[in-house]
Chains A and B, each alone.
Chain A
Amino acid sequence: MNVLRRLRNPVLFNEWKLRMRTNRAPWIILFYLLVLGTMTLLAIFFMTNGGSYYKPGETRELFMMLSIFQLGMIGFLVPGLTAGVISGERERQTLSILLTTNISATRLILGKWLASLSFMMFLVFATIPLYAIVFLYGGVSPLQLIKVFGFYVVTMLVVGSIGVLISTLIKRTGIATVVSYAVVFGVAIGTSVLAEIIRQFIRYQNRMNQVTSPPNSIWPDLLHSINPVFAMLNIFEEGPVQDLSSFTNAQSFWANVDPFWNYCLFYGGLTVVCLLLAIYFIQPVRGRKRKASAGEQ
Chain B
Amino acid sequence: MIQIRNLQKSYGKMQALKGLTMDIEKGTVFGFVGPNGAGKSTTMSILATLLAPTSGKAYVGGYEVTSHPKEVRKLIGYMPDFFGVYDNLTAEEYLDFYGANYDIPAAERKQIIPQLLDLVNLSHKRDAYVDSLSRGMKQRLGLARSLVHNPEVLILDEPASGLDPRARIELREILKELRDMGKTIIISSHILPELAEMCDVIGVIEEGNLVAFGRVDEIYAKMQEQRVLRIRLTGQLEEAMTRLREMPVITSVTREGSWVVAGFAGNDEQQVELLRELTTAGYPVAAFNEAVGDLEDIFLEITKGVGS
Task: Report whether B101 and A10 are in contact in the complex, using a CB–CB cutoff of 8 Å.
Answer: yes
Task: Report whether B80 and A98 are in contact in the complex, using a CB–CB cutoff of 8 Å.
Answer: no
B-chain residues with CB within 8 Å of residue A22 when the two chains form the complex: 88
Task: Report whether A14 and B97 are in contact in the complex, using a CB–CB cutoff of 8 Å.
Answer: yes
Task: Report whether A285 and B49 are in contact in the complex, using a CB–CB cutoff of 8 Å.
Answer: yes
Task: Report whether A290 and B67 are in contact in the complex, using a CB–CB cutoff of 8 Å.
Answer: yes
A-chain residues with CB within 8 Å of residue B64 when the two chains form the complex: 296-297
B-chain residues with CB within 8 Å of residue A296 when the two chains form the complex: 59, 62-64
Q: Is A38 an interface residue (CB 8 A)?
A: no
Task: Report whether B85 and A94 are in contact in the complex, using a CB–CB cutoff of 8 Å.
Answer: yes
From B49, B57, B145, contact of A297 by CB (8 A): B57
Task: Report whether B84 and A94 are in contact in the complex, using a CB–CB cutoff of 8 Å.
Answer: yes
A-chain residues with CB within 8 Å of residue B49 when the two chains form the complex: 99-100, 284-285
> Considering the complex, which residues of chain B in the window 42-88 have a beta carbon less than 8 Å from any beta carbon of chain A?
45, 48-52, 57, 59, 61-71, 73-74, 76, 78, 80, 82-86, 88
State A230–B78 Cα separation when bound (angstroms). Answer: 51
A-B contact pairs, 16 of them (CB 8 A): A5-B103, A18-B88, A96-B50, A98-B101, A99-B50, A102-B102, A284-B49, A287-B67, A287-B68, A287-B69, A288-B67, A288-B68, A292-B63, A292-B71, A297-B57, A297-B62
State A97–B80 Cα separation when bound (angstroms). Answer: 8
State A11–B86 Cα separation when bound (angstroms). Answer: 12
Provided the pairs A94-B84, A99-B50, A285-B50 are in contact, do residues A294 and B97 lie with their beta carbons within 8 angstroms?
no
A-chain residues with CB within 8 Å of residue B74 when the two chains form the complex: 102
Task: Report whether B67 and A93 are in contact in the complex, using a CB–CB cutoff of 8 Å.
Answer: no
Q: Is B100 an interface residue (CB 8 A)?
A: yes
Chain A residue nearest to B58 (CB atoms) is: A297
Provided the pairs A297-B3, A297-B59 are in contact, do residues A101 and B48 lie with their beta carbons within 8 angstroms?
no
A-chain residues with CB within 8 Å of residue B52 when the two chains form the complex: 284-285
B-chain residues with CB within 8 Å of residue A100 when the two chains form the complex: 48-50, 73, 76, 78
Task: Report whether B78 and A97 are in contact in the complex, using a CB–CB cutoff of 8 Å.
Answer: yes
A-chain residues with CB within 8 Å of residue B50 when the two chains form the complex: 96, 99-100, 284-285
Chain B residue nearest to A102 (CB atoms) is: B102
A-chain residues with CB within 8 Å of residue B66 when the two chains form the complex: 285, 287
A240 to chain B, nearest CB (A): 47
Q: Is B89 an interface residue (CB 8 A)?
A: yes
B-chain residues with CB within 8 Å of residue A293 when the two chains form the complex: 62
State A145–B5 Cα separation when bound (angstroms). Answer: 64
A111 to chain B, nearest CB (A): 10
Chain A residue nearest to B73 (CB atoms) is: A100
The tally of residues in B whose CB lies under 8 Å from a CB in A reads: 42
> Considering the complex, which residues of chain A in the window 251-297 have a beta carbon less than 8 Å from any beta carbon of chain B?
284-288, 290, 292-297
Chain B residue nearest to A9 (CB atoms) is: B100
B-chain residues with CB within 8 Å of residue A126 when the two chains form the complex: none
A18-B88, A102-B73, A287-B67 provided; 18 other pairs, C-beta below 8 A? A14-B86, A18-B89, A22-B88, A93-B84, A96-B45, A96-B78, A96-B83, A97-B98, A100-B48, A285-B49, A285-B52, A285-B65, A287-B66, A288-B68, A292-B63, A292-B70, A294-B63, A296-B63
B109 to chain A, nearest CB (A): 11
State A21–B86 Cα separation when bound (angstroms). Answer: 12
The tally of residues in A whose CB lies under 8 Å from a CB in B reads: 33
State A10–B49 Cα separation when bound (angstroms). Answer: 21
Task: Report whether A97 and B145 are in contact in the complex, using a CB–CB cutoff of 8 Å.
Answer: yes
A-chain residues with CB within 8 Å of residue B69 when the two chains form the complex: 285-287
Task: Report whether A292 and B68 are in contact in the complex, using a CB–CB cutoff of 8 Å.
Answer: yes
B-chain residues with CB within 8 Å of residue A14 when the two chains form the complex: 86, 89, 97
Q: Is A39 an interface residue (CB 8 A)?
A: no
Q: Is A17 an interface residue (CB 8 A)?
A: yes
B-chain residues with CB within 8 Å of residue A295 when the two chains form the complex: 62
Chain A residue nearest to B61 (CB atoms) is: A294
Task: Report whether A18 and B86 are in contact in the complex, using a CB–CB cutoff of 8 Å.
Answer: yes
Chain B residue nearest to A97 (CB atoms) is: B83
B149 to chain A, nearest CB (A): 8
State A93–B88 Cα separation when bound (angstroms). Answer: 15
Q: Is A133 an interface residue (CB 8 A)?
A: no
State A292–B72 Cα separation when bound (angstroms). Answer: 10
Interface string of A73-114 (1 = CB under 8 A from B): 000000000000000000011101111111100000000000
Task: Report whether B80 and A93 are in contact in the complex, using a CB–CB cutoff of 8 Å.
Answer: yes
A-chain residues with CB within 8 Å of residue B51 when the two chains form the complex: 284-285
A7 to chain B, nearest CB (A): 12
> Considering the complex, which residues of chain B in the window 3-27 have a beta carbon less than 8 Å from any beta carbon of chain A?
3, 5
A-chain residues with CB within 8 Å of residue B82 when the two chains form the complex: 93
B-chain residues with CB within 8 Å of residue A97 when the two chains form the complex: 78, 80, 83, 98, 145
Chain A residue nearest to B104 (CB atoms) is: A102
Task: Report whether A101 and B73 are in contact in the complex, using a CB–CB cutoff of 8 Å.
Answer: yes
Provided the pairs A287-B69, A287-B70 are in contact, do residues A294 and B62 lie with their beta carbons within 8 angstroms?
yes
